[in-house]
Amino acid sequence: MNKYTDKQIEDTLNLIDSTILNCEKIQPKLKEGTPQFSLTRNRIKALYISKALVTNQEHNFTQEELLKSVDQVTSIIRKSEKAMINAKEGTGTYTRLKKIIDAMTIALSYIQDAIK
């Protein structure tokens, strides 16, 4: 039984796809070997893993890959929560951050289920 609605899954996948696209657009502008480059590369991988798990694709991710994905997705949630403190409720920024937090929380639950 799925613990999320079809709408929640659809919104999560749309946000994951959008975030992957944004990360892939910015990555060529980053210098290889820098922390920003590594963070973006790791974030992209974690998002692809999340997408595969949410869509129930066949996979053979290692425990290490799944654990690294937990770190990346948790980081996105924390950074969004921190930014949300400065956003006024009802603004576009607040709404966008809320959507990110909701989607990443769902993605995180799928990763944690895969680890078990």
Mean pLDDT value across residues 53-70: 94
- In three-state secondary structure terms, 60 is coil
Tell me the pLDDT band of 69, cut-offs 50, 70 and 90. Answer: very high
Considering the segment(s) 6-115 as one domain, its CATH architecture is Up-down Bundle (1.20)
The span from the CA of 66 to the CA of 81, in Å, is 22
Does residue 1 have a pLDDT over 70?
Answer: no
Q: How confident is the model at residue 97 (pLDDT cuts 50, 70, 90)?
A: very high
Q: Is the pLDDT of residue 14 over 80?
A: yes
- Between the two ends of the chain, the Cα-to-Cα distance in Å is 17
pLDDT above 80: residue 81: yes
- Taken in order 24, 90, 86, 74, the sign of the CA dihedral is negative
C-alpha of 29 from chain center: 21
